Structure 1
Amino acid sequence: MATKDEPLTGLCLGDLEAVSVAVLAMSGHLEVREVLRRITASARTLLGAEYAALGVPDDHGGFAQFVVDGVTDEQWQAIGPLPRQHGVLATMLHELEPTRLADVRKAPAFGGWPEAHPDMSDFLGMPIVDDEEILGAIFLANKDGGFTDYDEALLRILAAHASIALRNAQLYERSRELTLAGERARIAHDLHDAVAQKLFSLRLTAKAAATLVDRDPVRARAELAEVARLAAEAADELRAVVVELRPAALDEDGLVATLASQVQVLDRAHAATVDFDADGVRTLPPAQEAAVLRVAQEALHNALRHAGAARVAVTLRGTAGRGAVLRVTDDGRGFDPEGVRREGRHLGLVSMRDRAQTVGGSLTLTSAPGRGTVIELEVPGA
């Protein structure tokens, strides 16, 4: 059996168990972000490195995902924007073979790092490959005694399993997106068929009533009664369609998992950091869960599209009354709520307040120019 300083010809029992635990941890999740975190933490623990990172490249010279382990949140914030695909990282994303260095700082491709970046020396990088397509790369740094052939072979095994877990998670998220797109198309078709015809009849009946007001008041009243009936039916149809707009993921996964998944998608899609934290949230009535999700989506849209936020934090807390409190906080440019109201620009605030009131909840907004925005929604439980 190989020693830790020889090429790997067989795993020792302890490492075999560790690899098994790591593979199970990676395979037990279907959300891409969580899979990446599990891979990164498993690689760092398995090889005894001080730092670990995993990067998934985008098509624009940056990273669609970049996960670290061994770095505190405060250190990560101080480091600044995500790295670009250059230097040693670029090498890892364009070569199928691993990179092992005694001192990464002396590598010809080394291009330096930000001032707040931790100091690193010995380095081991391994591409995550699926049929010669590089899905990403694992980076490890700073191990007592440096990385060995055994470490490299061990990481290669982990990376092979990581490629399967990562590909499965990507396919799962893609299938969810396609399902959602199909559901939206179906609802749009239903909306057209069920409501458009009612509105067309309503318009014709209203016109008929208008022409009869002076000539035949009795018939005019009958036509107006028909207008009221058609309007009520149209409202019922619209209400039924809106109920169907409740995302299928809410029914399948619940509010916390659905909101966490959407936040992860936004965190990948935008330069801003988007975080989510939940605590003590019980299952809420369907209408409350839908309202919380819609308000969160509107608040996130405002923060990421209009406020220029660099960081957005979403928290969801259960209350003693078995309800929940949603809070969306951003560090964007902020605004004067009264000024927005006077100018007739709503930023979705009317919609959010309506959703809150519909389920017996309350919505508060705190903002000022240059001071970010906080939107808080409290909904009752069952």
Structure 2
Amino acid sequence: MTPPGPEDGLTGEPALAAAVRAVAAGGRLEATLHDIVEAAVARADATYGAMGVLSSDGRRVDRFVIVGMDGAAQDVIGRLPEGDGILGLLLDHPVPLRLDDLGAHPASVGFPSGHPPMASFLGVPVRVRDAVFGNLYLTEKRSGGSFTAADEEAVLALAAVAGLAIENARLAEAAERRRAWLQAATEVSTALLSGSGLDDVLHTLVHRAAALSDADGAALLVPRADDPAALTIVAAAGATDLEGVRVPLADTHVGRVHRSGTPELVEDIRADPGLGRHADVAAELSAGARSAAVVPLGEAVGTLVCLRATGREPFDADVLDALTAFAAQAAVALELAHSQRRERELQVRADRERIARDLHDHVVQRIYATGLTLDRVARSLEDLDPYTARRVERSVDELDETMTQIRSAIFELQDDPPAEPLGRRLSDVVGRVTEGSGVACHVQLHGDVDGLPGPLAHDLLAVVRELVSNVVRHAAATRVSVDVDGGRTPGDDVVVVVADDGRGLPARPARSGLANLEERARRRGGRLTVTGGGPRGGTTVTWRAPRDGGT
């Protein structure tokens, strides 16, 4: 490639004006910097020109723009300069440097094989105010001799224009990154508040954080009530097999950030002292990873970790700040979504309570009154018309069964959520059934009642409710005792014993309710037995089923 010469008109002010126009045009940074280097080569009558642009943290050469050397020559040289020798000197001391013989300087490290010979040299920093963005280099004065002070002054002006171009490009990139982070936070918040599945939203959050922070992997760790000593990964990007891994809180970066609420950059997560005592966890969490950015979402919500692989540049403060802002917005959205879900649950609960109250206060009471009236009619007809009396009694039994079903629906509507311990729910059921009846109740619980599986717990509630309801409605009792033994191992029986001091079973007991309870026991491999209460009267009903039996 032949560099432009003085005859091209790119000397003095025309060259600077051309560079300024290139910056003002707002084109791609790489093309703009190439135009500026070309202008510098033309103005100083150099053979070769180059610009080394530093990374945003100033720790390394991020890109290298070359003019005067074609692709074939660059291929022969091989790797681009890394900032050693004279180039490193300029990075350490960003001041103009003019040399008559580049190779004679004490800092020179020579040229790689295949590099064209270079003698005269001019290097100036590319800066705006106190910020240094790189250096502009020129070599081999075409007319022979050394570069002049006038050359240095002109190239310094062009370097200042390059600094403005780099600064503007980085400001635009930063603005675009902020826009992308804000859009991601908005996306997560909208999904949460619109009722999307929490698991899907958490995975979206983690994947967006990984992509925007240029991470090789990311994970969201949350606390669990049953595991206070660790956090558990519930969503991961880049390595989904991490989900479910426990990370201890003690002496780990993750634990410190989670408890303090202060984000951290970790240079080498493999050296985490807490993970060192948990080799299996360390191997899973940091496999292939080195640096990490750890940001909190709140002690009750969780902690976000982004990882970069070994060999990559570690995260910088800008990424940590962006991640922290993103996590803060996501945490607010998570809290709002939780509040919304809780409000909806409370509203549903209130509706269920209202429906149950209406059923009890209106429907059940009217059916009960009708049943009492028909029961009196049946008794009055026993001697006069036994056939009609039996038909009326069957209707009373059907009304009793209807009330049983309605009461079951009422109690299921009023039952506390499954998180409520079963023992407390049993006591509440007995209390509600006997309330206002004048029947004194006593409840005893043995064994692991609260640990019963969900379907069996549901049956147990229904059995106790039905048996106590029968006592209140039919036994004319003053006392009822409920004894529940939940057993402790899968092979144990769950036993319910309900005893009252009432008038005992009638000569022709209605079997509809008891038949339902017998069916529940049979389905689970158990049985139901009914016995009299002895000389003092009363009835004892025993329902039993294996803890692990039936369906």
Q: Please classify the TM superposition score into its range, dividing by the shorter chain length.
A: 0.5 to 0.7
Q: 1:99 aligns with which of 264, 272, 281?
A: 264
**Counterpart position of 1:38:** 204
Structure 1: 5+ residue stretches without partners: 246-261, 267-299, 306-333, 336-340, 348-369, 376-382
User: Is the alpha carbon distance of 1:224 and 1:177 closer, same or farther for their aligned partners in structure 2, counting shifts above 3 Å?
Assistant: same
Distance 1:27 1:94 in 2: 24
- Letter of the 1:167 counterpart: E
Distance 1:301 1:225 in 2: 35
| Aligned-pair identity (%) | 23
- Letter of the 1:121 counterpart: R
- Letter of the 1:217 counterpart: D
**Counterpart position of 1:22:** 184
Aligned pairs (5 A) from 1:45-64? 45-59=211-225, 60-63=228-231
Distance 2:524 2:398 in 1: 32
Aligned pairs (5 A) from 1:1-382? 4-5=56-57, 12-30=174-192, 31-59=197-225, 60-63=228-231, 66-72=234-240, 75-76=241-242, 82-86=246-250, 87-111=252-276, 112-114=278-280, 117-118=284-285, 119=287, 120-129=289-298, 135-143=301-309, 144-217=312-385, 220=389, 223=392, 227=396, 301=454, 344-346=522-524
- Letter of the 2:294 counterpart: G
- 1:15-68 residue CA offsets vs partner (Å, 9 max, x unmatched): 133213312221122354343322211111111111111123245334487322
Secondary structure at 1:61's aligned position in 2?
strand
Distance 2:200 2:456 in 1: 24
**2:210 and 2:217 in contact (8 A); partners too:** yes
Which has the larger displacement, 138-147 or 220-229? 220-229
User: Is the alpha carbon distance of 1:180 and 1:159 closer, same or farther for their aligned partners in structure 2, counting shifts above 3 Å?
Assistant: same
User: Is the alpha carbon distance of 1:105 and 1:233 closer, same or farther for their aligned partners in structure 2, counting shifts above 3 Å?
Assistant: closer
Give the CA deviation at 1:231.
6.8
**2:185 and 2:330 in contact (8 A); partners too:** yes
**1:206 and 1:227 in contact (8 A); partners too:** yes
Distance 2:187 2:456 in 1: 33
**2:231 and 2:247 in contact (8 A); partners too:** yes
User: Is the alpha carbon distance of 1:188 and 1:65 closer, same or farther for their aligned partners in structure 2, counting shifts above 3 Å?
Assistant: farther
Give the CA deviation at 1:82.
3.5
Give the CA deviation at 1:206.
4.4
**Counterpart position of 2:29:** none
Give the CA deviation at 1:148.
1.0
Secondary structure at 1:121's aligned position in 2?
strand
Give the CA deviation at 1:223.
5.0
Give the CA deviation at 1:233.
8.0
Give the CA deviation at 1:83.
3.5
- Letter of the 2:304 counterpart: I
Secondary structure at 2:183's aligned position in 1?
helix
- 1:298-333 residue CA offsets vs partner (Å, 9 max, x unmatched): xx945999xxxxxxxxxxxxxxxxxxxxxxxxxxxx
Give the CA deviation at 1:234.
5.7
Give the CA deviation at 1:94.
1.0
**2:295 and 2:323 in contact (8 A); partners too:** yes
Distance 2:457 2:284 in 1: 26
Structure 2: 5+ residue stretches without partners: 1-53, 59-130, 132-169, 420-452, 459-489, 492-518, 526-547
Distance 1:153 1:19 in 2: 11
**Counterpart position of 2:128:** none
Larger relative contact order, structure 1 or 2 (CA cutoff 8 Å, min sep 6): 1
User: Is the alpha carbon distance of 1:343 and 1:175 closer, same or farther for their aligned partners in structure 2, counting shifts above 3 Å?
Assistant: closer
Secondary structure at 1:16's aligned position in 2?
helix
TM-score by length of 2: 0.39
- 1:198-252 residue CA offsets vs partner (Å, 9 max, x unmatched): 342244134314412333329747955974896798699789x78x97xxxxxxx
- Letter of the 2:191 counterpart: H
Number of equivalent positions: 256
- Letter of the 1:12 counterpart: A
- 1:133-192 residue CA offsets vs partner (Å, 9 max, x unmatched): 663211111253111112112212212221221121111122122223223322331232
- Letter of the 1:17 counterpart: R
Distance 2:318 2:279 in 1: 28
Secondary structure at 1:49's aligned position in 2?
coil
- Letter of the 2:322 counterpart: L
